[in-house]
Every structure is written in structure tokens, then in C-alpha cells.
Amino acid sequence: MTQSLFRQEALDANNNKVMGTVSLYSPPYRWLVISLASCLVTLIVLFIVFGSYTRKETATGNLLPSKGIYNITAPVAGTITDMQVEKGSEVERDSVLMTISSELSTAMGQTRQFVHDQLTLQNERLQSERESEHRMHAETMSGLKKQLGSLESQIGLLKKQQVKRQQQLNLASNQLHKLQQMRSQGFASNQQVDEQQNTVLEVGARLQDADRLVMDLEQKIIALRQQLRELPLALSKRQNEIDRSQADVDRALAENESHRAVYIQATETGTIGATLVKQGQVVASGQPLLYILPQGSRLQARVMVSSRAIGFINPGQQVMLRYEAYPYQKFGVQRGRVVEVSTAALSPQEVMTITGDPNVHERLYQVVVELDKQSINLYGKDVALRSGIKLEADFLIEKRRIIEWVFEPLYALGHRL
């Protein structure tokens, strides 16, 4: 038996590989990990295939009444002397809300009161003059009508006398003719004929006098009737002059009153939303005094949307609303729906007028959103929303499956090809 130079243990140690042998480690819970990973991949695939994504556009706006807000301003400068309403007061159309006085005091006292008294006195004098003119006209008309009646009676009597005198003249002329025939036959003297001629002349003269009197009376009647026709015209002319004078006085009186005391009236039936002045406060012309919320007006969200998103907003779309005054993290998100979309963009000045935001530098579209609820639940109690609250609105523009969103670039590429 041949013996080796080296021991067997040394030879075996020299034969070991540097990397060693492969050893597979299989933990006892490996199948659980594989199952969880498979379920996760399956859920992701199912979510991509069957899940959906809603694209939304966020914009800002305010709560405003559907019928708008009536802003009452001061027509003149002055002092608030009679404040008759306060916030929350119910008012009727044309009811007096407050009075603005611009009365001035001088060495003569209250100047506008003095002017008012003088104009009122002048107005009373004109009214008295008007009544006097009417009375004088009535009396004159009555007198002229009586004169006309008397003259017509006289002329009637004279015409009867004319008829009788004409008859007398005819008889005297016939008698003269007979006497002249008798004289030619020698039965009447010249004296009788001459006397009868005198009688004819006298009767003719009396008839001419009657005719002249009738003509005179007829001229007087014509003149009286002319006066009766002219009197109403003269009265009307005088009345017009008095009316013009009274109109001037009334205009001066109204102008004086407009500077003395102005009654501010409600332009619409509703509720006082806010009062911006107090009694005794001095106000300038055009200064806002208060706001009126029209009766029966519901709050709406007026949202300003940029041109980038307006093309996807249509009436009937759902809107999620977050009120600035009520954090949505605590009180939730409110809902609404689009009822109106403006067809023309509003200028920055118009947007500022509606929203009060001076930092608008682009044209925006107005979207009107009808609220599902006019109140919000605060700790179990419904509280009415207030006009002017700022809000953020999320318009739910488009709902698509996630797989469509993932492969949208491929769809677009296919359409281009």
C-alpha cells in the first residue's frame, strides 16, 4: 500500500472552492408574502381597469342674492337726522329709511327754513290770486249775461214798436193819398192835406228812431257777446301766467327742500342687509348708506371662471362648494349645480364690481350656481348663509376611467396618425 506524502485532511482542504456551494434559504412565511404581492398587483390592475377619475376645475366666488343687492347712496351731502331702520329690519317699497339734512345756520337763523317760509307765502298769494281771478271772472260773466238779456228784451220791444209804427205809417200814407184825391175833386182843403203830410212825416221819423235804437242795441249785443267770448280766453291767459309763476315757486321750493331735508326711501321690498352710517353722521354725496336684500331672493354662488375651463362647464353640472367662513375640514363640503353660464367674458372692472376683488387682471366668465341648501349645519344647528361669503367652487368637469387616462397619449397619437 502506497502512502501519500500529505495527509488526507490537507488534500481535502486544498480542494475547497473559493465561492463555496449554493445554499437556498426558504423562510416558512414565503407563501404569505407571495400571496400579498399577488393580491396587491391584482388590485392595482383592477383599479386601473375599472377605476375612474373626475377632473375638476377650481374657481373662487361669492354668495349673492338671486335678485341682486340694492345699494342705497346719499343723493346730497348732509347729516343723518332720522335713522328709522337697522340691520335686519323689514322694509316696504317707498318706505322712508332715513332723513338727510343740509340745513345751514346764519345770523338770520336757519337759512333754508327762512327761504321755505318765503316761498310758501308766495305760493299762498298766487293761490289766492288764482281764486280771485275765478271769482272776478264768474261775476263779470254773470253781469254781462244779465246785460245781454236786458238788451235782447229791449230790442224785442223795439221791434214790436217798429211793426206798429210801420202800420201807422202805412195808414197815414193811405189817408194822405185819399185826401189828395178828395182835394182834386174839391172835397178836401189844402190844409187837411198838409196836416196829413205832417202826420206821415212824424210817423216816419218815429219809425226811423226805432230803427236807429234797434241798430244801437244790436251793436251793443254784438259787443257783449264778443266780451263773453273773450273773457274765458283772458282768464285762461291769466291762469297760465299764475301757473308759470307757481311752477317757478314750486321748483324753487323743491330745490330748497332737496338741500334742506331729503327722505331716503326703499327702492324695493326686502330686508336691510347692512347699515353703513349712524344717526348724526355727516355723509358725502354718493356715499353708500345701506344695502337692501330683496324679498324672496335666494342666495346663489356667483363664481368667476377663467377662459381655460369655461368650455367644459354647462348648466346642470354638479359643483362642490367650500365656504371661507366655514372651514370644510370641520363643516364639510356643500353642493350645488350650475344654472347659468355667461356667454361673454366680463372685464376686470366688472368682475371687481361684482366680487370686490381689485386683483383681477384678466377677463372672466360668470357662472351662477344654485345651492342645494340655504343653510349650513353648525354643531347640529342649521344656520342661514349670509350674502357676501367668499367661497371656492370645484366644478366636476369630466369623469373618465383611469385606463383611458393612462393610455390617453396613445389615443392622441393614433388620432394624429
Angle between helix 111-185 and helix 190-260 axes, rounded to 10 deg: 170
Give pLDDT, residue 289. Answer: 92
pLDDT of residue 370: 94
Q: Which part of the chain is CATH 1.10.287?
A: 109-261
Give the pLDDT confidence score for residue 51 in this predicted structure: 66
Cβ atoms of residues 336 and 317 within 8 Å:
no
Which residues, 6 or more positions from 233, have their beta carbon under 8 angstroms from its beta carbon? none
Domain 53-68+297-416, what architecture?
Beta Barrel (2.40)
Distance between start and end Cα atoms, the chain: 87
Report d(CA 62, CA 271) in Å as an integer: 19
Residue ranges, comma separated, of all CATH 2.40.30.170 domains in the chain are 53-68+297-416
pLDDT score recorded for residue 397: 72
User: 0.95 cut: is pTM over it?
Assistant: no
Q: Return the sign of the alpha-carbon dihedral for residues 56, 58, 63, 64.
A: negative
DSSP letter string, 106-168: ETTEEHHHHHHHHHHHHHHHHHHHHHHHHHHHHHHHHHHHHHHHHHHHHHHHHHHHHHHHHHH
How far is it, in rounded angstroms, from Cα 318 to Cα 322? 13
- CATH code reported for the domain at 109-261: 1.10.287
Per-residue pLDDT of the chain (417 residues; tens, 9 = 90+): 456 666 666 666 665 555 555 555 566 677 777 788 888 888 888 777 776 666 778 888 889 888 888 889 998 888 898 899 998 889 999 999 999 887 655 444 466 677 778 888 888 888 888 888 888 888 888 888 888 888 888 888 888 887 887 888 888 788 878 878 887 877 777 887 778 788 888 888 888 887 888 888 888 888 888 888 888 888 888 889 988 998 998 888 887 776 677 889 998 898 888 889 999 898 998 899 998 888 888 899 999 998 887 888 889 989 999 999 999 888 989 999 999 999 888 988 888 877 767 788 889 999 999 999 999 998 889 998 988 899 999 987 776 676 766 666 666 666 655
